Amino acid sequence: MARQLDVSLGERSYPIHVGSGVLALAGDLALQAGARRAIVITNATVAAHWLAPLRASIASAGLGCDVVLVPDGEAHKSLATLNDVVTRLLELRAERGSLLVALGGGVIGDLCGFAAGVYQRGTPFMQVPTTLLAQVDSSVGGKTAVNHPLGKNMIGVFWQPRSVLVDTQCLRTLPDRELGAGIAEIIKYGAIRDREFFDWLERSIDSLVARDASALEHAIVRSCQIKADIVARDERETGERALLNFGHTFGHAIETATGYSQWLHGEAIAIGMVLASRLSSLVAGLSVADAGRIEALIARARLPVAPPAMTIDRWVDLMSHDKKVQAGVIRFILLEGIGQALVRTGVPRDVLERVVERADSRSNESLPRS
């Protein structure tokens, strides 16, 4: 049975539908959005599995459907690919009455959402996330962006979707590494906001890794509830929404350093959460035992816990390009306790060096899996 959650943003409010088979709702939701046609943005890998049922739903609503294919992978989340997407929209004579549909993971969602936000100064779009990470995180909240060689997600717009369709059947074709990347973001929600959920994750992590349908749906719904609640109070990330970036300051630095090619986003964030937890135990009051619980849970999810070796100067340089930097000062999302996050500035360089030096000594323990 499908669950519906709502992101409450006044006239920009929209539903999140979660359940097995909700892809069939796409056509009706497109009509509700006032669409006269649909343009699906996806990649060949996802299209092979999920484009046909999506197109069937759209066709059942009496709408035409075009498809724009983009390359697969974080390395292609770029201005060059965005330009290719916009060029295809122009060639297809897309109008504001055209509904863009993001069918894929976070890269597809960001590219489609960004294109929708800037094409003809704003075109409606729908999120149909097919990876666990996109289902619990990037498809909700309207943050869209592309990467730059100097920084992750530095070029983008806030543009909310008209609806989000989280079909849990899509996880059947998801590779194990991609599943783990999504579990990392689920762990984040428990760490920053809900200690009881974190406790449940410790009890249920083996079921999640084994793709138990009931466990996955519960984790997806609770994660979306937490994010929707935060986004409703802070849409443009002027305050509380920054807490959703726990682990991201370190994680984005890792992704930038490795050219967005070595680690999946969720894997980099997993490492980032381990580092942020260690830093939290030094400067924010998180107990060493709770920092250890976070690291142990991440390891049980078969995620990496140690980053590539880098000098402290390299770490600081990369993190200084993070979106959360204010007046040249790096801001970290840290934990006072599990379920209690805060923003912290003024972390002494020598303390930061202790955290990353300890990580460097273990950098060969968790290389990406093939």
CA pair distance 93, 184, nearest whole angstrom:
40
76 assigned to active site: no
Cross-sheet strand order for the sheet of 125-129: 3-7, 14-19, 163-167, 125-129, 98-104, 37-42, 64-69
248 assigned to active site: yes
267 assigned to active site: no
List 152, 162, 222, 241, catalytic entry: 241
354 assigned to active site: no
43 assigned to active site: no
143 assigned to active site: yes
241 assigned to active site: yes
188 assigned to active site: no
List 265, 278, 323, 344, catalytic entry: 265
List 178, 185, 217, 267, catalytic entry: 185
Contacts of 94 (CB under 8 A, 6+ apart): 39, 100, 119, 120, 123
Contacts of 259 (CB under 8 A, 6+ apart): 75, 149
List 76, 152, 193, 248, catalytic entry: 248
List 17, 252, 324, 344, catalytic entry: 252
177 assigned to active site: no
List 178, 217, 237, 295, catalytic entry: 237
List 17, 76, 227, 278, catalytic entry: 227
List the Cα angle 84/88/93 in 5-degree steps: 150
List 245, 267, 295, 324, catalytic entry: 245
321 assigned to active site: no
Contacts of 121 (CB under 8 A, 6+ apart): none
List 17, 77, 88, 143, catalytic entry: 143
Residue in the block written with tokens 């890269």: 107
Q: Which residues are catalytic?
A: 121, 143, 185, 227, 237, 241, 245, 248, 252, 265
